[in-house]
Amino acid sequence: MSRDYFWLTKDQFARLEPLLPNDTRGKPRVDDRRVISGIIQVLKSGGRWIDAPEVYGPRKTLYNRFVRWAAKGVWVDIFHALATAGGPPAQVLIDSSAVKAHRCASGGKGGTSAGHRPIARRADHEDPCSDRRRVSSRRVLADRGSDSRLHRRSGSARRDATFRDPARRQGL
């Protein structure tokens, strides 16, 4: 066994074995210790399932076992049992970071002055294009300086004339 790979010890696996599902039907499962070690290796490394080392067996087996057991709640039971088995931890570590920022880093004007007012913003539920949709197509064409002949044509002729002119197609 290489030092680069994660392997459960026999004692660790003996603690996990009673928590594993034993209601398998059909073909017997491959070595649970090897597959669980492979799943833990992938989760620890943060890699993709396809990048799992071949020593743990087929990658699809690792993924399928992880997904099926997650749906059954097996992993929750395992993690809960492991977390409660050791009692309270001897040390508790809290990591925090302090970042200083300059007063101009917020992007707003500093201080409160008479001319300072909040920026008007649109609420999340307001549609920015709602007023544009209400304008009729004839009014839009008239605003663009379209020819009056264009309004007298039939709808398909008007559409064809609009699509022939590249500047009009791009809304210029």
Q: Would the pLDDT of 59 be above 90?
A: yes
Burial of 52 (0-12, 13-18, 19+ CB in 10 A): buried
Residue 98 lies in a domain: no
User: Which comes out higher in pLDDT, residue 27 or 133?
Assistant: 27
SS3 (DSSP) at 113:
coil
Contacts 24+ apart (CB under 8 A), 19-24: 19/74, 19/77, 19/78, 19/81, 20/74, 21/69, 21/72, 21/74
Average of per-residue pLDDT values in the chain = 74
Side chain identity at 17, as an amino acid letter? Answer: E
Full domain range(s) for residue 45: 10-85
Residue 15 lies in a domain: yes
Q: 91: pLDDT confidence band, cut at 50, 70 and 90?
A: confident
Structural domains in the chain (count): 2
